[in-house]
Amino acid sequence: MATMRAVADLAGVSTATVSHVINETRAVSAPLTARVLDAMEHLDYRPDVVARSLRRRETLTIGLLVPSVEIPFFAHVAARVEAVANAAGYSVIFCNSDWSLEREAHYLRDLVARRVDGLVCITLAMTIEHLAPVLRRQTPVVVFERMMPGNELDAVEIDNYRAAYDATAHLIGLGHARIGCISGHTNSILYEERIRGYATALAHAGIPFDAALVRPGDYQPSSGVAQGRWLLDLPTPPTAIFAFNDLMAMGVMQAAHARGLRVPEDLAVIGFDGEPLTAYTSPPLSTVEQPVAAMSAAAIAMLLERIKGDTPSQARVQTFPAKLVARASTVGYAQGAN
């Protein structure tokens, strides 16, 4: 394995100059820098990242905690966060909690032990108390998409109330008065805001809220199938269903097809998240699109500002609008009903 001494000898400079080039601790002339870099490449020299991190008191790593890698939305977020972080010179340690608070807590302790410089956290139902090990070390944290009760941390989110309101209003505008809803996990602010948007849109249209039309899901297609069947078996089934993510909406469409129902003529379906694959279902699925790229860039920007100490002490929350994408799984209903 090549050493710094070997690089210095080949480049005809001191080891101190090599160190300054590698660590950017002092200005080095362009010709000398080029000689050092050429020597490093010729010898296939790789700096000791761990030693350099200890000297700088930073690891140039960011932890990313997500609830489930099986959900395409979270995989999409992970890809975007990693791309933005890499562009800023940071590596990402990816942790999948698999919807477990116990695993979330374990990964947080592990990330602290690895001395990550910051953390982007998409939690299941985590509280500030769960983050205590991270906060004690004063590791910067940005909460992504799912806010915490009494949140006192930087956060990036969408307007979940408005997004759910718009999705429900879209169905009402097409002539639906009996609208089912398949929610996600109930122990989150995200759930509360989306249910509030759904209920408010109904109220504004003079449609009574019916608790029997709201069913709990787990964001997997199978729960969309199961809860879709349950709703369709009601004595007076809904003519439209709003699911809290695209996978459950696809499950609802499968349940409808299995009963010989046409989408959207017999049952309109709309999902949430705006996954690219929704454009390729049959029929293409209406959805509420989250601006993942913009949210990821904002989360990393906020985190790097905290890491560098360039921000005020109070927490900041950046809220993005979601976009209603109307496709054939809903928009054909009015025509088909006539």
User: Tens of pLDDT along 9-47?
Assistant: 999 999 989 888 877 778 888 889 899 989 988 888 877
User: Which pairs from 305-311 meet CB under 8 Å and 24+ separation?
Assistant: 306/118, 306/140, 306/142, 306/154, 307/58, 307/117, 307/118, 307/140, 311/154
Given pLDDT bands bounded at 50, 70 and 90, which one contains residue 49?
Answer: low
Structural domains in the chain, CATH included, are 4-47 (1.10.260.40), 56-158+291-321 (3.40.50.2300), 160-289+324-337 (3.40.50.2300)
**pLDDT of 80 higher than 80:** yes
Which of 37, 36, 33, 42 has the alpha carbon at shortest distance from 2? 42
Q: What is the pLDDT of residue 300?
A: 94
Q: What is the pLDDT of residue 190?
A: 86
The number of angstroms, rounded, from the C-alpha of 283 to the middle of its chain's C-alpha atoms is 26
- For residues 318-322, average pLDDT: 94
pLDDT tens for each residue of 157-179: 999 999 999 999 999 999 999 99
* pTM summary value: 0.81
Q: What is the pLDDT of residue 178?
A: 97
Q: Where are the beta strands (DSSP E) in the chain?
A: 61-66, 91-96, 118-121, 141-144, 154-158, 179-183, 214-216, 240-243, 268-270, 287-289, 317-320, 323-325
pLDDT tens for each residue of 228-243: 999 999 999 999 999 9
Q: What is the pLDDT of residue 48?
A: 64
Amino acid letter, residue 159: D
Angle at 254 between CA 251 and CA 255, to 5 degrees: 90
* CB 115 within 8 Å of CB 140: no
Give 54-92 as a DSSP string: HHHT---EEEEEES-TTSHHHHHHHHHHHHHHHHTT-EE
- For residues 217-223, average pLDDT: 93
